[in-house]
Amino acid sequence: MSSAAKVRIITAGKADSGQRIDNYLLRELSGVPKPHIYKIIRTGQVRVNKKRIKPLYKINPSDQIRIPPIMLPDKTKLKPRVKFLESIKKSIIYENKQVLVINKPAGLAVHGGSGIKIGLIEAVRSLYPKYADIELVHRLDKATSGCLIISKNRAYLRFLHDAFRNSQVHKTYLALLAGRFKANIVRCSKPLKKNILKSGERIVEVEEGGKAALTVFKTIQKYKNASLVKVELMTGRTHQIRVHAQSLGHPVLGDDKYGNPDINENFKKLGLRRMFLHANKIIFPHPKSDDITVRAPVEQGLYEVLNMLVASS
């Protein structure tokens, strides 16, 4: 470990505008565990314009950001293994001069921290060393697979962040839910509130006064004790699909955070050893051409689970 022994005062630029302070620090202090990031925010060690802020604070241009002395990892030791890099390279399903889209494997964190030395973004930076500003455009939960956009430059990153804010990015997911959906289409608009525990873990609940959220579930196939659905996100709240599905009484199968442990255990016998939630399609704008549509193939193991459900129905 190497030590950043002095307090740093960083002046935010236009490229930082609109970013949440927790996400900014996760990038600026790459490799520092996420719980520690939230701790230094919560205890007031991180300040903006000499004031305490919350993790969801959005940065403005010219903000004066105070970053306390902190132990930083020795980045020379954080080199992804060759096989890992090869697997990430094979997961790239779209690329142009500004952006990559990766079919993120389930179980892979999008960035290091919380005991994870190397995440997806660190691996991509190793694959593309000539791009100094490679950054995640959005995130997927560790347990979720599928389409993930990574920008190669700050200008396109800002463009896509604006696109997300203006609902110009459209994402669809495939999910296997517990039980049989009664309706073919279900629109869930329950408000969601996010809480951050002292450990840094995020937990989301349906709660009046929470942020507006809208998820549309469309039934594709009903099985004896499960439903395969297409999910469209109209808003982009943390854990939105998982919490809305739980609130409807049909949690995502394999979800160890919001799901039903007993039901999950039964589905393990059918071979489901991960959360069945896959971002299968994303549509996003390009500043000089038509919208870009990318589809991510579903891993074979999920198809095998569906075949087992057909056989047992």
Q: How far apart are CA 206 and CA 79, in angstroms?
A: 40
E-strand stretches of 98-225: 99-104, 135-136, 145-151, 170-178, 185-188, 192-196, 202-206, 215-222
112, 30 contact by CB (below 8 A)? yes
Q: How far apart are CA 280 and CA 62, in angstroms?
A: 38
Q: Tell the residue number behind the tokens 């006064």, with chain if given.
A: 209
For 256, the token pair is 């160890």
For 247, the token pair is 């609130």
CA separation, residue 82 to residues 87, 198, 263 (Å):
9, 36, 38
3-state SS, residue 257: coil
Q: How far apart are CA 150 and CA 275, in angstroms?
A: 23
141 annotated active-site: yes
Given the residues 141, 162, 256, 291, the one annotated as active site: 141
Q: How far apart are CA 245 and CA 250, in angstroms?
A: 5
The amino acid at residue 142 is: K
Q: Tell the residue number behind the tokens 């980045």, with chain if given.
A: 75
Residues 6+ apart with CB under 8 A from 37: 22, 25, 26, 29, 113, 200
Residue 294 class from Cβ within 10 Å (0-12 exposed, 13-18 middle, 19+ buried)? buried
Per residue in 34-47, is it b (16+ CB within 10 Å) or e — as a string?
Answer: bbbbbebbeeeebb
Q: Which residues are catalytic?
A: 141
